[in-house]
Amino acid sequence: MLQIIDFTVILPVLMLAILLTLIRLIKGPTLSDRVVALDLMTTLGIGVIAAYAIAYNEPIFLDVALIVALVSFLGTIAFAYYVEKGTK
């Protein structure tokens, strides 16, 4: 089981990664860079939700993380379809 002290180490690392990804999201030179940064931020957010669920023994949050991952995947697929359709 994940101890609370481990959670206090994991959370700041994930937040730092989210902050650095936010910088890439803002400064991204292309739309593709921004979409990849947003997808990474979503993945890191899922990591935060999963760490919270494990640390506090709340398995319902794992279901929330799964739904967020599914929506993120569908958004990435929609963007890829949009880019592919635009290049023809």
* Residues 41-77: tens digit of each pLDDT: 999 999 999 999 988 889 999 999 999 999 999 999 9
Task: Indicate if the pLDDT at residue 88 is higher than 70.
Answer: no
Q: What amino acid occupies position 5?
A: I
Cβ contacts of 69 within 8 Å, gap of 6 or more:
42, 43, 46
Q: Which residue has the higher pLDDT, 87 or 80?
A: 80
How many domains does one find in the chain? 1
What pLDDT, on the 0 to 100 scale, is given for residue 74? 95
Range in 33-37, 50-54, 73-77, 81-85 with the lowest mean pLDDT: 81-85
At 83 the pLDDT is 83
CATH number at residue 50: 1.10.287
What is the domain range of residue 17? 4-86
The answer to whether the beta carbons of residues 47 and 24 sit under 8 Å apart is no
The SS3 assignment for 16 reads helix
Angle in degrees, CA 49, 64, 83, rounded to 5: 95
pLDDT of residue 61: 95
| pLDDT at residue number 2 | 58
